[in-house]
Amino acid sequence: MRDKREFVIEADYTNKRVDKFLSKNNDDLSRSYLQELIDDDKVLVNGSPVKKSYKLALGDKLELLVPEPEELEVKAENIPLDIIYEDDDIIVINKQPNLVVHPAPGNEDGTLVNALLYHCDNLSGINGVIRPGIVHRLDKDTSGAMVVAKNDEAHLNLTEQFKERDTKKVYLTLVEGKVKYKKGKIDAAIGRDPKNRKKMAVTSKNSKKAVSTFKVLKRYTKHSLVEVNLETGRTHQIRLHMDYMGHPVVGDELYGYNQKTLDVKRQMLHSHLLGFYHPRTGEWVEFEAPLLDDMREVLDSLE
């Protein structure tokens, strides 16, 4: 056990949720990691594990058990990376399509993490064995700019920026049909699809606020090239919001049309620009990822 942290609950924190108390009083640990510790029974109140919704009472004795980082078991692989920028704290890459970000059961190798382990001597260990350095992610078939943390300090700083929406995330996507409006805003909450647990959905039930702004860059005969700026970062947000507008992302087999209108092998979605405050210097930085050949060729064919 790396360390054991103990608290006695005072009047100011009575009737407060245990997860919010822990987040406020453990600045070196991310909120998502603390919630994982709660789920793993590493948070005890009066000697017993509790759920994250537990309401604290005056005099409660709270123990937080922070385990030692697990030894990394994911193997390094010599997978080419398109590196846009790198220093002692971060790596920014232009992720290629058909690349899963981190290993999962049934998909233990050939991922971005395997590639990063080959390229780097060290990565942040905050997200554990299978997600070292991973601050945010892109879908397997989404290309473009991603930032990875090389140490825990950078990881915590970047995680907080993404949580507080202090980052800038601009995407380019080719969608079905001619989008009527030149620009607009989509404010439609997203939650788990109650009919299919593998999908998300625009829904008012058990959902979180999701906001995207868009600008049409070019209209083709049967398609539109759209720039999308994310104000929130929900799972599959752009794909869902575009489909919600009636203009699904070309090549999106989960939310888009069943019949392909273009000969594409993946969804036409690209993380074009990523901006954030550098975790060490505090300077605002922006990184642009050029379109990859497959998406560029599709756009050229529409001209």
Q: One of 19, 60, 139, 141 is an active-site residue; which one?
A: 139
- Joined together, the tokens standing for residue 273 give 């620009």
Helix axes 31-39, 18-25, angle to 10 degrees: 130
Alpha-carbon distance of 261 to 268, in angstroms, equals: 12
d(CA 266, CA 166): 30
Cβ neighbors of 247 (< 8 A, separation 6 or more) are 175, 176, 177, 179, 224, 226
Separation of alpha carbons 193 and 171, rounded Å: 24
Beta strands across the sheet bearing 190-192 = 200-202, 190-192, 207-208
Going by their DSSP bridges, the two strands 190-192 and 200-202 should be labelled as antiparallel
| Residue 263 is a catalytic residue | no
Radius of gyration of the chain (CA): 21
The rounded distance, in Å, linking the Cα atoms of 225 and 223 is 7
Give the C-alpha separation, 96 to 92, whole Å.
Answer: 13
Angle at CA 105, nearest 5°, toward 100 and 107? 35
**DSSP 8-state symbol, 2:** -
Q: Looking at the DSSP assignment, which residues form a beta bridge with residue 192?
A: 200
Name the strand (E) or helix (H) holding 116.
helix 112-119
Are the C-beta atoms of 247 and 257 separated by less than 8 Å?
no
Question: How many Cβ atoms are within 10 Å of 50's Cβ, its own excluded?
Answer: 18
Q: What positions carry a catalytic annotation?
A: 139
